[in-house]
A and B are shown apart, each in its own frame.
Chain A
């Protein structure tokens, strides 16, 4: 089950905790993987760890030209693009009263607009080949909201609506578009939380622990697989029961 031999995947934000785990998992299932992100050193380190069937293309998701270049170079490096995992994301947390326009715009630009642009660029080849998997990493807060994250929650909710629309446009071409919505996962992004904050979060998680990046990656592998061909427009929540939607 879930064999990805012969498939090719592009993972954005692959220098991060969840992105790295996704890239490792896709690679382990047999896929050729292109790692993208802004931190070239971390990407090269992951490439060295994974070995064969791995490419690195650094790119910024806030620059349209870079995004187009990324799509082109990834297709050129791997010969085709079957699986696109839009995982790149940033936070600029602030209570709304204090949130600056730049903080709002930057988060929307990278997390939502960048994802749309890259997906649009990747669609052409997928349509031609009558196969594609687009997996957008959203967040529980895109559905539940979170104080201090109006920008991030808006962008992540936007991804869900965008994915449902793309799913309907592309379903007849055997391209599926789905979201994975992590809850609180142990990564550098959550490491910065204080112990009190973590305690407060865990009080709301029936599983009574943070999730692992590998648990998110497993959901991505499923949605990328041939077995998930009939699943589209869905959001897979992986959150230890924190929200049941």
Chain B
């Protein structure tokens, strides 16, 4: 499932309107990619939809970087 990272990055690019080059694994959604707190909620919702998973609130709070998202989805996607 190596395409998980690509799919995550694509969602981030589309949702936040940032350049793909900015979406590095250590990029923080809020500090580096200009997301506001609602954007982060919406990103989590978009990931849930794309990968058919549920991301509980306490896990969602820990997803702060692109890499965090990829890591969570890799270990939880079916």
Complexed CA–CA distance, A128 and B41 (Å) = 10
User: By DSSP majority rule, is chain A's interface helix, strand, loop, or mixed?
Assistant: helix
Contact of A39 with B by CB under 8 A: no
B-facing residues in A138-178 (Cβ within 8 Å): 169-170, 172-173
Contact of B18 with A by CB under 8 A: no
Complexed CA–CA distance, A170 and B36 (Å) = 12
B-facing residues in A107-161 (Cβ within 8 Å): 124, 127-128
User: By DSSP majority rule, is chain B's interface helix, strand, loop, or mixed?
Assistant: helix
Contact of B38 with A by CB under 8 A: yes
Complexed CA–CA distance, A128 and B38 (Å) = 11
A-facing residues in B24-78 (Cβ within 8 Å): 36, 38, 41-42, 45
B38 touches A169 (CB 8 A): yes
Q: Nearest residue in B to A124 (C-beta to C-beta)? A: B45
B residues in contact with A124, CB < 8 Å? 45
Complexed CA–CA distance, A2 and B24 (Å) = 46
Instruction: Give 12 pairs: A residue, B residue, CB < 8 Å, sorted on A.
Output: A124-B45, A127-B38, A127-B41, A127-B42, A127-B45, A128-B42, A128-B45, A169-B38, A170-B38, A172-B36, A172-B38, A173-B38
